[in-house]
Structure 1
Amino acid sequence: MKLWKRLNLTMMNRICLFVLLLCCSCYRVQDKIQPQINYRLEEKYLDELKPAFAPISDAEKREEWGKEYLIALAFAKEMDLYRAVSTFKRASILVPEEKETRKLEIQYNIILCYFLAKKYEDVVITFERSELDHIDKSFTTFHDLLIVLYSSYLQIGDLDKANTALDLLKKNYPKTAEKIDLSMALIQPDIERAECLAQNTPYQEDITLMLDAYAKNKKSINKAKALNAFIPGAGYLYVGQKKAALTSFLINGLFIGAATHFFLNGQISAGLLTTSFEFGWYFGGIHGAGLEARYYNERVYEEMASSVMNHYRLFPVFSLQYGF
């Protein structure tokens, strides 16, 4: 009889463990981080870049489109990008059909404004509606346009078109392509690819040190979830969220205590209801601890990568050759 009870208890333990693992698997948190790495772009940087296109003539200045174009350029140079786009669009509408080159120049300036404003979907939409898909190396900003398109297509997840732009960069501007490829590997991030692309570059040592430091400082998502599964709140404490850890511990303890009280006093319905609430908090806490670990890793990577990339000007925008 004792043996049967012992076997029965062992079976129940296995069932409970299976249920626990099954529930935890339903709350899977992706390991891949999605950091928001930003560059610091100042007006003086754009001032350092030479204008892409020839100044408009005195005759063009007297035309309505020419007036709008000059105003748009002034807005763009001041980084007032919203008004610059609106004014460039008016110039694009007013410019005569025979001035095909000027129309292309205006369309490019609109795309550049969207890119500087990090409106990557607008970059793609504007490009695909323009006549710029027919240009070649003879167009002044062909180099810059490829950078803008590669970065933008990659940001919106259109890998096929991003790779097409990158192939054109590799074919026509191989050194730029290498730098841009490394930049995007760091931004995404694709750490193994970044380590490979950084080899034999002036910034290899600092990038390697940065990636090693990140590997040492990042938190394990699975460990955070496991800790929170064994002791509610421990996973949050692991990633430095002390208030969340205390809240999780107290709420789970409160529900467990309440459920125990109800069951001991024969209030089965109240006990079951309280237990259902506890299950929600318990498994939600496991999922939340995993998310907090991922957020922690994202913040750590953002801080480290932003510092290195801004120092070496590795963002795609810093490879542009022309301004407004």
Structure 2
Amino acid sequence: MANLNSIKSIGWKGLFFLIILGLTAPVLAIDERDLCSDPEKVFIFAEHLYEIQDYLNAIREYRRMIFLAPCHPLSKKAKLKIGFAYKKDEKWDEAIASFQKVADEYLGQEEGKTASFELGETVFLQRDYDKAIKFYRAFLKSYPTDEFVPEARFKLAWAYLYNKDYLVARGELEQIGPSTDYSITAKGLSQDIGQISDLPQRSPRLAGILSAIVPGSGQIYAGKVGNGVVALIINGLFIAAAIQAFDNDNDIWGGIISLIEIGWYGGNIFGGIASAHQYNRRIRDNYIEKLREKYKMEPTARNPQGEKVFGLAVITFRF
């Protein structure tokens, strides 16, 4: 009687729902357990999240896969893809830490090689060329005969070029063999780097001397005509004011104005020297920018599955 009252209280529709739930719950439980116990399915889901650029959740799924099956063959790839996900998400420190861990753990293996190379790539994107040099050097040391050594040397040369270390940059390019995909490009870039010494220059010493003789002339010589004219006018006015003060026997004002003029005069000389350095730097930077446009490097191509996670950069020429 109590059971009948219970059925009446929930209604026949509610009873039907409970029966259906009871029949399907075991099946649902089996599917859920199957998903949790199958690391390959977790990895496939992580790859899907990676492809739709949901990098944070992709990282979580890669880590879940590693936790479920740390000895699974896909575990190494999952660890590597965590680094790529951080890199794609521009979380540079996390990407570097992930790649470094894989590079150390799988030294001499495909995943370790890729991670070692990606360390250089990641900091290169950050324009931290000192670190890029360090990581590319480490890659070359660990994998000296690898097929991607020419690419590493080519990018190492660019890192040195951006650091204004032109001789070393040319030295790296000259070590790229003649039978590689980078041989023609490396030869052309090396020749172009050699022309940096022939670029028009302004002598900082001469600029300082000119400014000492005629205030503002050093800046005009270095291409800053407006600054030079202003410096000439200001110094001329102070000199004229000081002379007039002394001519009027106003030695105190003449002395004060002279002291102020000494400061302006010294600043004018320093400005001439600095302008020459800025001129030279601007000419070099513009030339390097033209080289970057001429030897355009696109991001390294990788397939969606990440099976070959780095390859030769795409290089085009613009003349």
User: Which of the five TM-score ranges fits, normalised by the shorter chain?
Assistant: 0.5 to 0.7
Q: Which of 141, 145, 150 is equivalent to 2:118?
A: 145
> Aligned residues, how many?
243
Amino acid at match of 1:192: L
Map of 1:187 onto structure 2:
162
The alpha-carbon deviation at position 217 of structure 1 amounts to: 0.9
Map of 2:85 onto structure 1:
109
Change in 2 beyond 3 A, CA 1:61/1:191: closer
The alpha-carbon deviation at position 228 of structure 1 amounts to: 1.7
Map of 1:322 onto structure 2:
302
Change in 2 beyond 3 A, CA 1:211/1:253: farther
Note if contact 1:169-1:177 (Cα within 8 Å) is conserved in structure 2.
no
The alpha-carbon deviation at position 152 of structure 1 amounts to: 6.3
Amino acid at match of 2:110: S
Map of 2:50 onto structure 1:
69
The alpha-carbon deviation at position 244 of structure 1 amounts to: 0.9
Q: Which of 82, 97, 116 is equivalent to 1:128?
A: 97
Change in 2 beyond 3 A, CA 1:165/1:260: farther
Q: Which of 270, 280, 289 is equivalent to 1:306?
A: 289
Q: Which of 237, 246, 252 is equivalent to 1:263?
A: 246
Change in 2 beyond 3 A, CA 1:61/1:268: farther
Note if contact 1:144-1:321 (Cα within 8 Å) is conserved in structure 2.
no
Change in 2 beyond 3 A, CA 1:258/1:196: same
Cα deviation digits, residues 186-213 of structure 1 (max 9, x gap): 2211122234444474243564355425
Amino acid at match of 1:106: I
| Separation in 2, partners of 1:66, 1:174 | 29
Note if contact 1:185-1:194 (Cα within 8 Å) is conserved in structure 2.
yes
Q: Secondary structure at the match of 1:98?
A: helix
| Separation in 2, partners of 1:93, 1:278 | 67
The alpha-carbon deviation at position 252 of structure 1 amounts to: 1.1
Map of 1:27 onto structure 2:
none
Note if contact 2:43-2:61 (Cα within 8 Å) is conserved in structure 1.
no
Amino acid at match of 1:155: D
Change in 2 beyond 3 A, CA 1:165/1:219: farther
The alpha-carbon deviation at position 182 of structure 1 amounts to: 2.0
Greater Rg by CA: 2
| Separation in 1, partners of 2:114, 2:136 | 18
Larger RCO (CA within 8 A; separation ≥ 6): 1
Query: Does residue 202 in structure 1 map to residue 202 in structure 2?
Result: no
| Separation in 2, partners of 1:264, 1:169 | 79
Cα deviation digits, residues 274-302 of structure 1 (max 9, x gap): 22322222222222222222222222222
Note if contact 2:79-2:102 (Cα within 8 Å) is conserved in structure 1.
no
Q: Secondary structure at the match of 1:97?
A: helix
Map of 2:15 onto structure 1:
none
Query: Does residue 281 in structure 1 map to residue 278 in structure 2?
Result: no
Note if contact 2:58-2:85 (Cα within 8 Å) is conserved in structure 1.
no
Task: State TM-score, norm by structure 2.
Answer: 0.61
Change in 2 beyond 3 A, CA 1:95/1:213: closer
Cα root mean square deviation, aligned? 3.6
Task: State TM-score, norm by structure 1.
Answer: 0.61
Change in 2 beyond 3 A, CA 1:212/1:135: same
Farther-moved stretch of structure 1 (141-150 vs 286-295): 141-150
The alpha-carbon deviation at position 222 of structure 1 amounts to: 2.4
Change in 2 beyond 3 A, CA 1:103/1:193: closer
Change in 2 beyond 3 A, CA 1:68/1:197: closer
Note if contact 1:214-1:301 (Cα within 8 Å) is conserved in structure 2.
no
Amino acid at match of 2:161: L
The alpha-carbon deviation at position 95 of structure 1 amounts to: 4.8
Farther-moved stretch of structure 1 (101-110 vs 202-211): 202-211
